[in-house]
């Protein structure tokens, strides 16, 4: 995959199957005095030799491309990242704030790290990762619960859905999460890692450039899908982040972002770094797909495909800050389908700033049959 389509693809060795086969046949003729014709038995062997040699050329070109950010993947991308001091982010665990209700008459005590609570599905486990001290005068306290297994499975539990205590404690009467769990992410994928590698050289500056701060925000957690940096006043740096699916980071994740971007070897002296919540710009609209009557049998298939692709595009955009709402992108989804005369949408075009992200709901996909002779 070419991540930078405007950059021409490098080619160490030319791959031209017809030219190489002609060259092999000519060399065979020069050595034997017989030019192999289409029906000659040796032609099959020469064609097989040509096929294998072109596969080798393809491998040579691919191996060369794997040294470049535009093409590298997997372990090769990891090695490219090392050239600029960037490493792939590991999977992260979901977390949530929670409240513990204490038993009347309890003494001073410390709730040790590892206190285990199950979510409502009876399978997803959350634990405390720090010790919490409670005095005898407290009736309740605040803790943070972190999923035991990294990944996205711990995301999305609503307040009050993590209550099943596993670790016994005589002084805790009840526990319940007060926020929706978030922050869980799988190991950083190739494209996200490649974007951070592209931004990584900015981290070497001591002047606090835009790319440097964006790099460090994205490096705080693999769950962060996009970030923006603003400087409304000299030395005032306002960071903004959004998670995949248009989720706004909660307090624990924002604290991690601030900690990452305020480290002594990251934040330039004099910069005042803060973090702001992004604003969701909610909008909705319908998509109308006009299908030729001759393709009426494809109407349901077209409707399902347009719905699926439109929802996927809306979901992708929800994780991008400053992503303008461009209705033509949704119209193009239906327009490119075979048998479609015209595709339109009621979505309105909107320009967003770098602290806004779109939350687009496609309320309906209407398929209308039209007569070829009438359009």
Supply the pLDDT for residue 365: 96
Supply the pLDDT for residue 206: 62
* Structure confidence at residue 349 as a pLDDT band (50, 70, 90): very high
Domain boundaries, the chain: 17-71, 95-177, 190-277, 280-374
Quick check: 222 and 94 in contact, CB under 8 A? no
Strand partners, 365: 287
Higher-pLDDT residue of 202, 126: 126
Beta strand spans in 277-355 (E): 279-292, 340-345
The model's pTM:
0.75
Q: In what order do the strands lie in the sheet with 279-292?
A: 340-345, 279-292, 356-370
User: Domain 190-277 maps to which CATH number in 3.30.1490, 3.30.300, 1.10.10, 2.60.120?
Assistant: 3.30.300
Torsion of CA 41, 42, 43, 49, to 10 degrees: 140
Beta strand spans in 295-374 (E): 340-345, 356-370
- Residue 25 tokens read as 């046949």
Supply the pLDDT for residue 202: 82
Report the DSSP pairing between strands 95-102 and 172-177.
Answer: antiparallel
Strand partners, 119: 162
Cα within 13 Å of Cα(253), Cβ side:
32
Q: Whole-angstrom Cα distance, residue 284 to residue 99?
A: 36
Give 201-219 pLDDT, tens digit per residue: 887 876 578 889 999 999 9
| Residue whose entry in the numeric block shows the structure tokens 């003494």 | 107
Burial of 24 per CB tally in 10 Å (0-12, 13-18, 19+)? middle
* Structure confidence at residue 267 as a pLDDT band (50, 70, 90): confident
The H or E element spanning position 31 is helix 17-32
pLDDT at position 4 over 90: no
Question: How far is C-alpha 242 from the chain's CA centre?
Answer: 11
Q: Whole-angstrom Cα distance, residue 118 to residue 101?
A: 16
* Structure confidence at residue 221 as a pLDDT band (50, 70, 90): very high
Cα Rg of the chain (Å, integer): 29
Q: Whole-angstrom Cα distance, residue 223 to residue 183?
A: 5
- Residue 68 tokens read as 């470049």
Strand partners, 96: 145
* Structure confidence at residue 8 as a pLDDT band (50, 70, 90): confident
Supply the pLDDT for residue 1: 65
């Amino acid at each position: 995959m070419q991540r930078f389509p405007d950059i021409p693809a490098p080619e160490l060795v030319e791959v031209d199957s017809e030219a190489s086969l002609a060259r092999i046949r000519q060399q065979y003729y020069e050595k034997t005095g017989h030019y192999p014709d289409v029906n000659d038995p040796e032609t099959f062997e020469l064609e097989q030799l040509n096929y294998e040699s072109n596969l080798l050329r393809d491998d040579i070109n691919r191996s060369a491309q794997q040294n470049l950010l535009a093409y590298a993947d997997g372990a090769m991308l990891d090695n490219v990242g090392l050239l600029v001091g960037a490493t792939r982010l590991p999977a992260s665990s979901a977390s949530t704030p929670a409240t513990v209700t204490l038993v009347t008459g309890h003494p001073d005590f410390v709730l040790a790290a590892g206190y285990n609570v199950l979510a409502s599905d009876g399978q997803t486990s959350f634990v405390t990762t720090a010790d919490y001290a409670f005095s005898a005068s407290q009736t309740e306290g605040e803790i943070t619960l972190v999923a035991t297994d990294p990944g996205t499975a711990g995301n999305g539990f609503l307040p009050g859905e993590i209550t099943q205590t596993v670790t016994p404690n005589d002084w805790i009467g009840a526990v319940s999460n007060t926020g929706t769990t978030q922050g869980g992410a799988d190991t950083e994928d190739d494209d996200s890692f490649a974007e951070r590698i592209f931004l990584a050289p900015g981290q070497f500056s001591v002047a606090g450039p835009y790319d440097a701060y964006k790099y460090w925000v994205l490096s705080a957690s693999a769950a962060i899908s996009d970030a923006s940096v603003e400087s409304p006043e000299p030395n005032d740096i306002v960071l903004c982040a959004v998670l995949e699916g248009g989720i706004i980071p909660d307090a624990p994740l924002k604290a991690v972002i601030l900690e990452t971007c305020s480290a002594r070897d990251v934040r330039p002296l004099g910069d005042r770094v803060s973090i702001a919540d992004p604003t969701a710009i909610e909008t909705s609209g319908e998509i109308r797909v006009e299908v030729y009557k001759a393709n009426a049998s494809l109407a349901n298939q077209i409707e399902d495909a347009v719905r699926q692709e439109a929802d996927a595009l809306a979901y992708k955009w929800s994780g991008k800050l400053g992503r303008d709402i461009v209705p033509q992108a949704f119209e193009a989804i239906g327009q490119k389908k075979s048998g479609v005369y015209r595709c339109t949408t009621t979505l309105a075009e909107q320009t967003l700033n770098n602290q806004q992200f779109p939350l687009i709901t496609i309320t309906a996909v209407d398929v209308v049959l039209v007569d070829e002779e009438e359009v």
